[in-house]
């Protein structure tokens, strides 16, 4: 193997999302791109995919503009660009209709993305091969992915067989996606040798996170076994829950006799400096300091580095909610470390019971969310499994694909009690084409379909986020949240934050949150506060409800409370009909959903009667025990 070429890919998108919540804005990405090119050592750069476009929408910015401007410098330099997509789930957390999936690949190719890295969270070849077909039809290189998970049902032979099936099905390349960094070196070396023995001409790319500590040894092993490309990060966002560092890998492989490209260190330092500048600007407020450390405790639960940014935020939010509950009942509060250990232990306990789904998006979130909900309920004296989100049920009953292992009898019993039916067919068949529905919506609203139908695609892929972007609500919410963090500090920017006015304002008072909760003699009110130019409150008014209460019979109303904090939605699909004031409700009827930790938790009525008040508009942030709906 001495002298064999190894090429590098910079995962500039993923190295941000593995550390915190957001990625840089398009103006920042365009600023750093030429210097990444000048480094001279990258054959590929990961530019988009995964949560990238949703994050742009959360900024209140156009993700299509971002993708086009960000990929162009690399296209011009002859550096390949690649994106990550989730097969049946496209670039979101839930299944996508086939016509939307097909449009995605056509749009992304025209926007400048060369390679589609397609993975299924369950490693179901039916889902991956659909993406392979659609990517090639769209003119992209189809890189099929093995989501590596280490368990008794995930054998080296099973992964070699999966790669063989994907290559025979048309895949141009294979990515070995070690999203948790838990692949043991010898085990993965055996997998690479097995694939190369069957298909020596197929390029192999290895992607690993550094969290548990195996990655450096594993990289050396897979390069010796025949891998062609290695994904790397660079300072100041390498290591920790992110990826291994370019300089360390480069030196290790060069010393072992591999032919690796030279690094322009002057350009490296410029990219490093700009990346730190982006952290200091605002991104560091969303990076938990714990995500900058490696942690061998991750070997046990096997949670992926890519979700650790959101996991720490989820822990922070749920810990605050749980401790409020504890204080009310004079119970001792938990620390974040207490909750983290309980979570890790619960993941290890329930993962085999759930059929060993690979711990990759979205199923890593589903397993983590279910484990966290179990921990929260157990701490409150409730039984395990008392809250299972709809998305998680879909995974358990087979709507996303076939689970690698068998469900525990306890889970099967719970499914039967909940009236769930198991599905063994082709997952895509459950989600009919939908572009015509979104075309109609865009036409009715007078929205531009965009170059190459890219705006149509964005609405169809991310309906809720796109509508919030178009209305301006997303930008307003982001700016308010960032303003709050600038005032209070947080993340790895803790202690460095200085109050800074949002553009167009001139007062620190303008940065105060516009929505707050106030307790008046034990009764809780949600109020909206508007500030004048002098920073003084000029108006205080109750938050608007969806509709005014209808006249009803005398007697107390039954309140349907939020069982957890998150965003309240009346519907989650365009095919659903939202409840309204005056509707008759039976026990068990759907009231709405609370979206928390990227899953939708169905809220059902435990009383029959008439809806007299809907207390929150759809998409509004709510807290645990908030009154969602009143019924008489």
pLDDT per residue as tens digits for the range 553-603: 446 788 888 877 788 888 877 667 888 898 888 888 888 988 876 678 888
Task: Determine the pLDDT at residue 591.
Answer: 82
Q: Are residues 198 and 268 in the same domain?
A: yes
Unique residue bearing structure tokens 């009110």: 525
Distant-in-sequence, close-in-space partners of 417: CB < 8 Å, separation ≥ 6: none
**Which of the 8 DSSP states describes residue 243?**
B
Between the alpha carbon of residue 163 and those of residues 119, 177, 195, 202, 570, the distances in Å are 12, 12, 7, 10, 42
Number of domains in the chain: 4
| First-last CA distance in the chain | 76
Task: Determine the pLDDT at residue 254.
Answer: 97
Between the alpha carbon of residue 177 and those of residues 123, 146, 148, 274, the distances in Å are 11, 6, 6, 28
Choose one of 541, 565, 598: the last residue of a domain: 541
* 206 vs 229: CA distance, rounded Å: 6
Q: CA torsion 93→98→103→105, rounded to 10°?
A: 70
Measured at the CA of 47, the angle between CA 269 and CA 210, to 5 degrees, comes to 65
Instruction: Work out the angle between the directed axes of helices 125-137 and 156-168 (0-180°, nearest 10).
Output: 30
Q: How many CA atoms lie within 13 A of 364 on its CB side?
A: 26
Q: Are residues 410 and 448 in the same domain?
A: no
3-class SS letters over 530-578:
EECCCCCEEEEEECCCCECCCCCCCCCCEEEECCCCEEEECCCCCCCCC
Conformation bin of residue 488: beta by default, left when phi > 0, alpha when psi is -120 to 50? alpha
CB atoms within 10 A of CB 38: 14
Q: H-helix or E-strand containing 72?
A: helix 63-77
* 285 vs 489: CA distance, rounded Å: 7
* 430 vs 524: CA distance, rounded Å: 43
* 401 vs 626: CA distance, rounded Å: 36
Question: Which DSSP string do the residues of 501-512 spell out, in sequence order?
Answer: PPTT---GGGGS
Q: Which of 250, 267, 262 is nearest to 36 (CA)?
A: 267
Choose one of 516, 541, 566: the last residue of a domain: 541
Kindly report the backbone phi and psi dihedral angles of residue 414, in degrees, each rounded to the nearest multiple of 5, phi listed first. Answer: -60, -40
Choose one of 433, 459, 486: the last residue of a domain: 433
Enclosing domain of residue 461: 435-471
Assign residue 361 the CATH number of its domain: 3.20.20.70
Task: Determine the pLDDT at residue 36.
Answer: 98
Q: Are residues 419 and 498 in the same domain?
A: no
Query: No. of H helices and E strands in the chain?
Result: 20, 19
Assign residue 585 the CATH number of its domain: 2.40.50.100
- Predicted TM-score (pTM) of the model is 0.78
Q: Are residues 494 and 577 in the same domain?
A: no
Q: H-helix or E-strand containing 477?
A: helix 473-488
Q: Are residues 526 and 450 in the same domain?
A: no
Q: H-helix or E-strand containing 176?
A: strand 173-178
Task: Determine the pLDDT at residue 380.
Answer: 82
Buried b (16+ CB within 10 A) or exposed e, 117-138: bbbbbbbbbbbbbbbbbbbbeb
Q: Are residues 408 and 536 in the same domain?
A: no
Q: Are residues 123 and 141 in the same domain?
A: yes
Pairing of β 115-118 and β 173-178: unpaired
Q: Are residues 366 and 488 in the same domain?
A: no
Q: Are residues 118 and 142 in the same domain?
A: yes
Q: Is the dihedral of CA 388, 127, 21, 53 positive or negative?
A: negative
Q: Which of 191, 194, 246 is nearest to 216 (CA)?
A: 246
Task: Determine the pLDDT at residue 604.
Answer: 85
Burial class of 390 by CB neighbour count within 10 A (0 to 12, 13 to 18, 19+): middle
Q: H-helix or E-strand containing 610?
A: strand 609-614
Buried b (16+ CB within 10 A) or exposed e, 303-335: bbbbbbbbbbbbbebbbebbbeeeeeeeeeebe
Residues of the chain short of pLDDT 50, as ranges, are 1, 497-554
3-state secondary structure of 582: coil
Over the stretch 45-57, which tens digit does the pLDDT of each residue have? 999 998 899 999 9
Q: Are residues 73 and 5 in the same domain?
A: yes
Between the alpha carbon of residue 450 and those of residues 60, 61, 62, 63, 169, the distances in Å are 17, 14, 11, 12, 33
Q: Are residues 575 and 617 in the same domain?
A: yes
* 621 vs 568: CA distance, rounded Å: 6
Q: Are residues 409 and 550 in the same domain?
A: no
* 52 vs 365: CA distance, rounded Å: 17
3-state secondary structure of 366: helix
Distant-in-sequence, close-in-space partners of 624: CB < 8 Å, separation ≥ 6: 321, 324, 325, 562, 563, 564, 565
């Amino acid at each position: 193997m001495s002298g064999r070429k190894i090429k590098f890919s910079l995962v500039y998108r993923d190295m941000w999302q593995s550390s915190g919540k957001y990625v840089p804005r398009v103006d920042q990405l365009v600023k750093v791109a030429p210097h990444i090119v000048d480094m001279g050592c990258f054959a590929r750069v990961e530019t988009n995919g995964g949560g990238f476009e949703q994050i742009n929408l959360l900024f209140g910015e156009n993700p299509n503009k971002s993708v086009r401007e960000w990929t162009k410098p690399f296209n011009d330099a002859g550096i390949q660009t690649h994106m990550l997509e989730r097969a049946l789930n496209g670039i979101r957390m839930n299944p996508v209709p086939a016509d939307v999936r097909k449009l995605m690949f056509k749009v992304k190719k025209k926007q400048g993305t060369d390679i589609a890295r397609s993975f299924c969270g369950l490693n179901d070849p039916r889902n991956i091969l659909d993406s392979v077909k659609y990517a090639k039809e769209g003119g992209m290189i189809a890189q099929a992915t093995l989501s590596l998970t280490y368990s008794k049902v995930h054998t080296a032979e099973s992964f070699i067989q999966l790669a063989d099936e994907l290559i025979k099905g048309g895949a141009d390349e294979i990515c070995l996606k070690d999203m948790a960094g838990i692949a043991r070196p010898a085990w993965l070396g055996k997998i690479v040798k097995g694939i190369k023995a069957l298909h020596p001409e197929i390029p192999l790319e290895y992607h690993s996170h550094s969290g548990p500590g195996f990655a450096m040894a594993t990289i050396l092993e897979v390069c010796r076994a025949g891998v062609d490309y290695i994904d790397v990060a660079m300072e100041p966002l390498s290591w920790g829950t992110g990826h291994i560092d370019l300089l360390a890998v480069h030196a290790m492989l060069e010393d072992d006799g591999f032919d690796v490209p030279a690094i322009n260190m002057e350009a490296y330092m410029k990219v490093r400096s700009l990346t730190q500048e982006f952290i200091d600007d605002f991104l560091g407020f969303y990076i938990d300091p714990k995500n900058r450390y490696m942690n061998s405790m991750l070997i046990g639960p096997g949670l992926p580095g890519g979700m650790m940014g959101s996991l720490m935020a989820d822990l922070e939010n749920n810990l605050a909610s749980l401790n409020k509950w504890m204080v009310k009942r004079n119970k001792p509060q938990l620390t974040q470390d207490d909750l983290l250990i309980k979570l890790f232990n619960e993941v290890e306990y329930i993962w085999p019971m759930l059929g060993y789904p690979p711990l990759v998006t979205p199923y890593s979130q589903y397993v983590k969310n279910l484990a966290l909900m179990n921990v929260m309920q157990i701490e409150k004296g409730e039984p395990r499994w008392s809250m299972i989100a709809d998305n998680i049920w879909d995974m358990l009953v087979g709507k996303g694909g076939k689970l690698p292992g068998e469900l525990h009898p306890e889970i099967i019993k719970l499914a039967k009690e909940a009236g769930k039916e198991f599905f063994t067919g082709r997952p895509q068949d459950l989600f009919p084409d939908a572009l015509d529905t979104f075309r109609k919506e865009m036409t009715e609203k007078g929205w531009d379909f965009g170059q190459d139908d890219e705006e149509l695609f964005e609405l169809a892929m991310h309906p809720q986020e796109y509508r919030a972007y178009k209305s301006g609500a997303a930008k307003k919410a982001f700016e308010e949240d960032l303003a709050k963090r600038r005032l209070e500090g947080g993340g790895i920017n803790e202690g460095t934050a200085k109050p800074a006015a949002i553009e167009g304002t001139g007062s620190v008072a303008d940065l105060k949150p516009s929505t707050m909760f106030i307790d008046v003699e034990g009764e809780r009110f949600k109020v909206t506060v508007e500030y004048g130019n002098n920073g003084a409150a000029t108006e205080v008014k109750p938050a608007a409800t969806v509709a005014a209460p209808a006249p009803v019979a005398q007697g107390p109303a039954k309140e349907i409370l939020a069982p957890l904090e998150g965003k309240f939605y009346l519907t989650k699909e365009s095919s659903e009909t939202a409840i309204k004031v005056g509707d008759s409700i039976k026990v068990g009827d759907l009231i709405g959903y609370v979206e928390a930790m990227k899953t939708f938790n169905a809220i059902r009525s435990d009383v029959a009667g008439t809806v007299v008040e809907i207390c929150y508009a759809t998409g509004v942030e709510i807290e645990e025990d908030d009154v969602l709906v009143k019924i008489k």
